Amino acid sequence: MEINNRTVRLLSQTNNFTDENLWSFFEENFDLKLKSKQFLLKNKLILLDNNIVKALKNNNVKEGDKIKVKTISKVLESKNDNFKIGEYILGPGCVQDYYISDGENCEKFNIDKFNYSENEIFNGLENFKKAFKKLIELEDEKKIILKP
């Protein structure tokens, strides 16, 4: 199975976090060949918080890197007995549509009990720049949720 994965990557290092050229968007295709213990996840909610800004300020994100965040994702394919197709997972992901995990730092998540009504929501990966700009404006006040 071939996957078309949209990703957001850091385009250039700068201290101007409102720079329109800070981020780049890519579409990457890859063949899905899961190894033993791996599973494929589709991001449903991408949780943006001030940790992204801290990582940028500390130069922990290099040019070309994907933006690491917490995500709530749905298992689409699995070769891992601990994570079944259809389950939701809270885990480390990136600002992208899909990713493959081996289960490290992942936990099952009850999506029905997740209340995100007090968070600001942006629909579509293509709105990451707007969501990030809002995150900068809010500082530590609350999280921003991006729904790919």
Q: Which domains does the chain have, with CATH numbers?
A: 2-147 (3.90.180.10)
pLDDT tens column, 91-117: 999 999 999 999 999 999 999 988 887
Q: What is the pLDDT of residue 20?
A: 78
Q: What is the pTM of this model?
A: 0.91
In whole angstroms, what is the distance from residue 80 CA to residue 36 CA? 7
Residue stretches of the chain with pLDDT short of 70: 139-142
Q: What is the pLDDT of residue 137?
A: 87
Q: What is the pLDDT of residue 119?
A: 84
Dihedral (C-alpha) 117, 123, 129, 130: value to the nearest 10 degrees?
-60
Q: What is the pLDDT of residue 138?
A: 82
Q: What is the pLDDT of residue 140?
A: 66
Name residues whose C-beta falls within 8 Å of residue 6's C-beta, 6 or more positions apart in sequence: 25, 26, 27, 28, 96, 97, 125, 148
